[in-house]
Amino acid sequence: MAKHHVSVTLNGEPTEFLCSTRQTLLDVLRDELNLTGSKEGCASGDCGACSVTVDGRLVCSCLVLGAECEGKSIETIEGMADGEKLHPLQQTFLEEAALQCGICTPGVLVAAKSLLERNNNPTETEVRYWLAGNLCRCTGYDKIIRAVMKTAAEMRGGA
Amino acid sequence: MAADKPLYKWVGTRTIRPDGHDKVTGRAKFGSDFSLSGMIHGRVLRSPHAHAKIKSINTSAAEKLPGVRAVITSKDFADQPSELAAAGEAMVNYKDMVRNVMAREKALYDGHAVAAVAATTVEIAEAALELIKVDYEVLPHVIDVDDAMQPGSPILDDTMVPVGMDAKGPTNIAKRVEFTLGDAAKGFAAADVVIERSYKTAAVHQGYIEPHAVVSSVSEDGQAQIWCCTQGQFMVRTFTAKLCGMPVSSIRVTPSEIGGGFGGKTVVYLEPLATMLSKKAGKPVKMIMSREEVFRASGPTSAGSMTYKIGAKKNGTITAVEAEIKLLAGAFPGSPVQPACMCAVAPYDIKNVHLVGYDVVVNRPKVAAYRAPGAPISAFGAESIIDELAKELGMDPLELRLKNAAKTGTKAAYGPTFRNIGYVETVKGAMAHPHYKAPLGPNQGRGVASGFWFNIGGESSATVNINEDGTAVVISGNPDIGGSRASLAMMAAEELGIDYNKVRPIVADTASVGYNFLTGGSRVTFATGLAVVEAARDAVRQLCERAAKIWEVDAEGVIWDDGHAKPASTNVGEFEPLSLAQLAAQAAKTGGPICGHNAQNVQGAGPGFATHICDVEVDPETGHVTVLRYTAIQDVGRAIHPSYVEGQIQGGAAQGIGWALNEEYIYNAKGRLDNPGFLDYRIPVASDLPMIDAVIVEVPNDRHPYGVRGVGEVPIVPPMAAVANAIESATGVRMEALPMSPPRVLAALDAARPKQAAE
Amino acid sequence: MQSVQFEAPKTVDEAVALLAGAKGNARVLAGGTDLLVQLRAHIIDPSLIVDIKKIDETRSFKKNRDGSYTIGAAYAGAEATERDDITKDWPGVVEGWDLIGSTQIQGRASLGGNLCNASPAADSVPAMVAAGMTANIAGPKGRRTIPVEDIAVGPGKTSLAKGEFVVSFNLPARPKGGGDAYLRLIPRTEMDIAVVGCGVALVLDANGTVTSAKVSLGAVAPTVLVVKDAAKAIIGTKLDDAAMAKLDAACQAAAKPISDKRGTVEYRTKIAGVLARRAAKIAADRARSQ
């Protein structure tokens, strides 16, 4: 059957794409729009490497159909920095060495940003449960959790 | 010598990693992120049977499907003779490798590749797989290592002749190894206490988040380019050349960023298939494993079954250890049973040791290296029985370890005499840590355990190019799996005396740098680091020569200090120091480009030791174990970049905790893997873990200019026993098998309750 | 593998017409967190996917004047957690609903999807059942309302006829002295499928005596169970040790689990009793603190 013509706002820009019914939002981002920052680690919603927000809600883009996204606003890792200026989370992740191989990092950052937008003063437990769907096999999560909490503190201080 | 300097400018600081920005913005290209124009897509048909004879494969219907460009089976790969090659810390046999990438006579495990298709879309390739008809004769299978050693077990390869032992008739035992120090019988005779126990560990997967991915493009002239996520681009080149019958010079492999490996990406799976498909189709071929394929077909590490016997004097002196360690290798020989035996009691100075190991084939995927291959398995047994010994003797478990600790000059059971090592320092560090004395609540317990790994050196090449503006490029050939670019650049900056941010480290393809053994064995910062240091020193030597030329003095009269060429003494003459940038700007006039090189087979890896402390709480009604607090103390030689050293320690400990508590391969009655996904293959999630306190101990390796020891592998060795010992401390119940998942822990608690009530 | 038609109707009637008229296998898409996994793994091969989220009724959430709630079938757990009303009135319902998977899943997973996927281990269902929720179904023959526990009839199977789908749910007003709770046992702390799940809703009188109760178990039978004997064991008691022991025994007796990769018969049976006791205690504490 014919492909679906879908119009979205992607990282603030009006964007159109064509997709088949079976293509997920992740497939669309990676294969149709060449935005490979969102990663596929499992294709079943278990690893979180494909995390994006749709209308401000954190989701796994592997569990969203491209065809569902008509009219939606989508934010990906590629939209996180403001031009050359990194988002505070990105900067803190670099300073705190909160990444090793880096494959989970885009998803973790998108998820952490979504947390801090809702809760600017999360406890360690809240950060850990919020990020429980973002698997990281390298770091043991320690430096990730610290970086998120440190960024939250800095953003509160700067506000 | 740089090592004699009291202070370093860069080494030991926490710099921003050179690849960091690309990795926090999504710009970094990992294995599946790479594409070529005209590219087609490959998929693999895999055996649904654990053990089956392949009577025939009919691919004609698949070939006729519109959009299909190539179909391959084992017939497309020439058979290989039995010949061993190094892959990471293990050896592989080309005869087995060609059969593992594509089943020939038999399918030997659920998920074994049987055929592959390349088509214009993934959907067409998948549809074509359904059209391939494979006529299987299903055979009885064997999954468990102990079962596979029993008489009457299904035999995987009836032509296999075991190494190191005699066998009457066909066997699944591929090899027997033995290590003897002193006289174990005498040691036990002298003991006041003797304990004997059996332990089992489950097979676990490395669990990297990035599935295997490759793009291979073979031109009409036979030249191939491969882009893939791997721990060793040179390994991919060697193995692909061998299996595809191509000269090494015709293959150029570019490593992508790598999304985790932990040993699992030290072998080839897709690369020869994509290359053969590309050759047949005349198009670039991209292949990506699904997560299910990663679990079913790529290497987990061995499951183990072992028996330990330990004897000691009342004062705690361990007089003898005897162990039999059986590791499953998967479908082809090559479990890490040898290092498992060698590492078993390496932290201790024991005069009488007798260790026997068996390498056993079963109907599971061929194991691949996983972080200190073999050592975590044998250490689970050794560190558990030492804990039992401490309890029996009424000794503090760290005191017992300290009393028997290996030191500089100790002869290890596996052969060598240790040079400078830091095991004692890790035990003392644990004793002194506030964690060890912190109070515990109800249902809570504390365990400790130690671990050892050799670490390796190996073939390493590096180039340091001095640029005309005073910056430098460091070219080496090891995929950066967790911050090695940063550590290499820091050592180069230290040597050159220039700002770290003026040093750009590059991970080169196989055509752009000399040979490098793969990223594994905790070798990169140590061995490739050594090559980088030597290459930088070569560049410095050339810089001094240029200064000598400008000053018209002998080169010996020039020294390099803080990024400047200076006269060695006033006897040489009075000259203003020349900076690296000044010399670089004049390079064309003083002799041309300044390029430092080094290539060597690095020796002198410093062994690594660690001691971990773990607190748990056990829910007595559900058997659920919560890790409350975790401290890992490790001798790292010297931490070049402390943050990434801590990260290795924390990550290794977390993987070990996963191995301890919930990770396992679950096979059903038909020998099919029942949990090939992250839903039921349960690696730790963020909410499962506490902060992991990584305590760095620095006993420098005297055979590295900066004292580096490998750090990446040791931290996964102690956790399983540390957790088991903590559970015993919390409940009085000894878990002798992994994983210590809630159903198993509750069953053990329930079984012990009548006995505990009676006491 | 066939090509799939995709439709996103804006009205219930259009959705019913599409589902009723579909040739082959039609699937309803709400949050998609089960559907997309099954689609990708080739477990299902539908000819039509109907996204119901453009229908206002499936995405609405309303607290009615009488204190009851009408909840759209595609309303997500994360959305419910962010509300003050239902989290105070029915914390157990929200717990079950918002425990499904990760934060990412919780942002999409819906009560309708979790129920109609008909997994015996569905986290949201035991608490929904305990709370006495009903489902409003639309279909070719019009609308009907049935108890939540009557939807699933076996793993992956529902009582819905062709063309029918769940549009919304009714959640009763929280009774005076009422409290509810949902607990599950998973090997990790998040991300797992429940090995056992237990929902308890109860009402206490001024003396702390249980006057009514409903106890529901997940993952111990082909469908989520309502354990009447468990409710009987605690009604008329103050949840003293003897009542708790009876509750435990009733749940163990009702459990008819299987052994699989997530747990054994023996383990699931024991845990059913443990969770029931613990959930009852939490529900009672909540009832008292109201």
Three-class SS of B106-171:
EECCCCCEEEEEEECCHHHHHHHHHHCEEEEEECCCCCCHHHHHCCCCCCCCCCCCCECCCCCCCC
pLDDT at B3: 47
Positive/negative CA dihedral, C150, C151, C157, C159: positive
Rounded to the nearest 10 degrees, how much is the dihedral formed by the CA atoms of B524, B527, B530, B531? -90
Contact check, Cβ <8 Å, B742/C187: yes
pLDDT at B91: 83
pLDDT at B675: 98
Per-residue pLDDT of B158-200, as tens digits, reads 999 999 999 889 999 999 999 999 999 999 999 999 999 999 9
What is the enclosing helix (H) or strand (E) of B399?
helix B397-403
Q: Give me chain B's average pLDDT, please.
A: 96
Residues of chain B positioned with their CB less than 8 A from the CB of A77: 25-26
Distance in angstroms between the alpha carbons of the first and the last residue of chain B: 64
State whether residue B744 is helix, strand or coil. helix
User: Which of B644, B650, B679 is closest, CB to CB, to A142?
Assistant: B650
Task: State mean pLDDT over A33-52.
Answer: 98
Please determine, for residue B759, whether its predicted confidence score (pLDDT) is greater than 90: no
Distance CA B718, CA B430 (A): 13
Distance CA B11, CA B707 (A): 11
Q: Give the closest residue to B533 by CA, choosing from B458, B607, B605, B461.
A: B461
Q: Which chains touch B (3 or more CB pairs under 8 A)?
A: A, C
Contact check, Cβ <8 Å, B691/A104: no
Residues of chain C positioned with their CB less than 8 A from the CB of B674: 260-261
Closest Cα in chain C to B622: C271
Strand order in the sheet with A57-60: A13-19, A4-10, A73-75, A51-54, A57-60
User: Which of B624, B685, B742 is closest, CB to CB, to C191?
Assistant: B685
Rounded to the nearest 10 degrees, how much is the dihedral formed by the CA atoms of B581, B583, B586, B587? -110
Window 20-59 of A: residues touching C by CB (8 A cutoff) are 20-22, 24, 43-46, 48, 51, 57-59
**Residue A38 vs residues A25, A76, B149, B554: alpha-carbon distances, Å:** 10, 7, 46, 58
Cβ of residue B684 closer than 8 Å to a chain C Cβ: yes
Cβ of residue C47 closer than 8 Å to a chain A Cβ: no
pLDDT at B2: 44
Contact check, Cβ <8 Å, C6/A57: no
Residues of chain A positioned with their CB less than 8 A from the CB of B259: 39, 41, 101-104
Question: Do B175 and B333 form a contact (C-beta atoms < 8 A)?
Answer: yes
Please determine, for residue A159, whether its predicted confidence score (pLDDT) is greater than 60: no
Contact check, Cβ <8 Å, B685/C189: yes
Q: Give the closest residue to C123 by CA, choosing from C72, C172, C36, C193.
A: C193
The contacts of residue B751 (CB under 8 Å, 6+ apart) are none
Minimal CA separation from A41 to chain B, in Å: 5
Residue carrying structure tokens 């079950």: C96
pLDDT at B7: 76
Q: What angle do CA B678, B679, B684 make, to 5 degrees?
A: 65
Q: State whether ipTM is beyond 0.85.
A: yes
Quote the tokens at residue B701: 């390796």
Q: How many CB atoms lie within 10 A of CB C82?
A: 12
Sequence-ordered alpha helix ranges (H) in A9-81 = 25-27
User: Which of B647, B653, B687 is closest, CB to CB, to A100?
Assistant: B647
Q: How many CB atoms lie within 10 A of CB B186?
A: 13
Quote the tokens at residue C140: 């070719």
Contact check, Cβ <8 Å, A68/C37: no
The contacts of residue A83 (CB under 8 Å, 6+ apart) are none
Residues of chain B positioned with their CB less than 8 A from the CB of C261: 666, 674-675, 680
Minimal CA separation from B666 to chain C, in Å: 7
**Residue B695 vs residues B397, B427, B455, B627, B632: alpha-carbon distances, Å:** 19, 12, 19, 18, 6
Identify the residue among B33, B124, B209 best suited for mutation to test binding to A, counting A beta carbons within 10 A and taking the highest: B209
Beta-strand relationship, B625-635 and B692-697? parallel
Minimal CA separation from C219 to chain A, in Å: 20
User: Which of C3, C29, C104 is closest, CB to CB, to A45?
Assistant: C104
Contact check, Cβ <8 Å, A45/C37: yes
Minimal CA separation from B61 to chain C, in Å: 17
Task: State mean pLDDT over A17-35.
Answer: 97
Q: Give the closest residue to C128 by CA, choosing from C85, C80, C96, C175.
A: C96
Quote the tokens at residue B154: 């299904």
Q: How many CB atoms lie within 10 A of CB A156?
A: 11
Q: Give the closest residue to B370 by CA, choosing from B311, B312, B426, B298.
A: B298
User: Which of A99, A101, A136 is closest, CB to CB, to B258?
Assistant: A101
Window 247-266 of B: residues touching A by CB (8 A cutoff) are 257-262
Q: How confident is the model at residue B92 (pLDDT cuts 50, 70, 90)?
A: confident
User: Which of B292, B682, B747 is closest, CB to CB, to C187?
Assistant: B682
Active-site residue identified among B292, B713, B736, B759: B713
For residue B181, the cross-strand partners are: B353
Cβ of residue C34 closer than 8 Å to a chain A Cβ: no
Beta-strand relationship, B224-228 and B251-255? parallel
Contact check, Cβ <8 Å, B682/C192: yes
User: Which of C1, C266, C271 is closest, CB to CB, to B622?
Assistant: C271
Distance CA B118, CA B112 (A): 18
The contacts of residue C19 (CB under 8 Å, 6+ apart) are C26, C28, C48, C50, C162, C163, C164, C165
For residue B217, the cross-strand partners are: B225
Q: How confident is the model at residue C1 (pLDDT cuts 50, 70, 90)?
A: low
Q: Give the closest residue to B286 by CA, choosing from B509, B31, B39.
A: B39
The contacts of residue C288 (CB under 8 Å, 6+ apart) are C179, C204, C208
For residue B35, the cross-strand partners are: none
Per-residue pLDDT of A115-142, as tens digits, reads 999 999 999 999 999 999 999 999 999 9
Cβ of residue B121 closer than 8 Å to a chain C Cβ: no
pLDDT above 90 covers a percentage of chain C that reads 98
DSSP annotation string for C35-88: HHHHHHTTS---SEEEEGGGSHHHH-EEE-TTS-EEEETT-BHHHHHT-HHHHH
- What is the widest separation between alpha-carbon atoms in chain A? 54
Minimal CA separation from C230 to chain A, in Å: 32
Contact check, Cβ <8 Å, B209/A97: no
State whether residue A59 is helix, strand or coil. strand
Residues of chain A positioned with their CB less than 8 A from the CB of B679: 44, 46
Beta-strand relationship, C165-171 and C134-139? antiparallel
Minimal CA separation from A138 to chain C, in Å: 18
Q: Is A151 exposed, middle or buried (0-12, 13-18, 19+ CB in 10 A)?
A: buried
**Residue B539 vs residues A62, B18, B484, B490: alpha-carbon distances, Å:** 49, 21, 21, 16
More confident residue, B753 or B66: B66
Cβ of residue A67 closer than 8 Å to a chain C Cβ: yes
**Residue B72 vs residues A77, B40, B77, B205, B366: alpha-carbon distances, Å:** 38, 15, 9, 28, 21
Q: Which chains touch A (3 or more CB pairs under 8 A)?
A: B, C
Distance in angstroms between the alpha carbons of the first and the last residue of chain A: 51
CA B352 and chain centroid, separation: 30
For residue B413, the cross-strand partners are: none
Q: How confident is the model at residue A1 (pLDDT cuts 50, 70, 90)?
A: low
Count of all residues that appear for chain C in the document: 290
Please determine, for residue B320, whether its predicted confidence score (pLDDT) is greater than 50: yes
Residue carrying structure tokens 């690296």: B580
Task: State mean pLDDT over C8-34.
Answer: 96
Per-residue pLDDT of C160-211, as tens digits, reads 999 999 999 999 999 999 999 999 999 999 999 999 999 999 999 999 999 9
More confident residue, B754 or C58: C58
User: Which of B123, B126, B666 is closest, CB to CB, to C261?
Assistant: B666
Closest Cα in chain C to B680: C192
pLDDT at B85: 85
pLDDT at B1: 42
Minimal CA separation from C144 to chain A, in Å: 28
Rounded to the nearest 10 degrees, how much is the dihedral formed by the CA atoms of B376, B382, B387, B390? -150
Rounded to the nearest 10 degrees, how much is the dihedral formed by the CA atoms of B567, B569, B572, B577? 20
Minimal CA separation from B62 to chain C, in Å: 15
Task: State mean pLDDT over B306-335.
Answer: 98
- Residue B621 falls in the annotated catalytic set: no
Cβ of residue B675 closer than 8 Å to a chain C Cβ: yes
Residue carrying structure tokens 């109609």: C116
Amino acid present at B455: N
Quote the tokens at residue B179: 């290590």
Please determine, for residue B598, whether its predicted confidence score (pLDDT) is greater than 90: yes
State whether residue B477 is helix, strand or coil. coil
Please determine, for residue B256, whether its predicted confidence score (pLDDT) is greater than 90: yes
Window 425-464 of B: residues touching C by CB (8 A cutoff) are none
Please determine, for residue B110, whether its predicted confidence score (pLDDT) is greater than 50: yes
Amino acid present at B684: P
Contact check, Cβ <8 Å, C32/A65: yes
Question: Do B567 and B575 form a contact (C-beta atoms < 8 A)?
Answer: yes
Question: Do B661 and B721 form a contact (C-beta atoms < 8 A)?
Answer: no
Interface size, chain A vs chain B, as Cβ–Cβ contacts under 8 Å: 181
Q: How confident is the model at residue B6 (pLDDT cuts 50, 70, 90)?
A: low
Cβ of residue B76 closer than 8 Å to a chain A Cβ: no
Distance CA B568, CA B558 (A): 5
State whether residue C113 is helix, strand or coil. helix
Cis link prior to B162 (omega < 30° from 0)?
no
Q: Which chains touch C (3 or more CB pairs under 8 A)?
A: A, B
Task: State mean pLDDT over B493-511.
Answer: 98
Per-residue pLDDT of C221-274, as tens digits, reads 999 999 999 999 999 999 999 999 999 999 999 999 999 999 999 999 999 999
State whether residue B582 is helix, strand or coil. helix
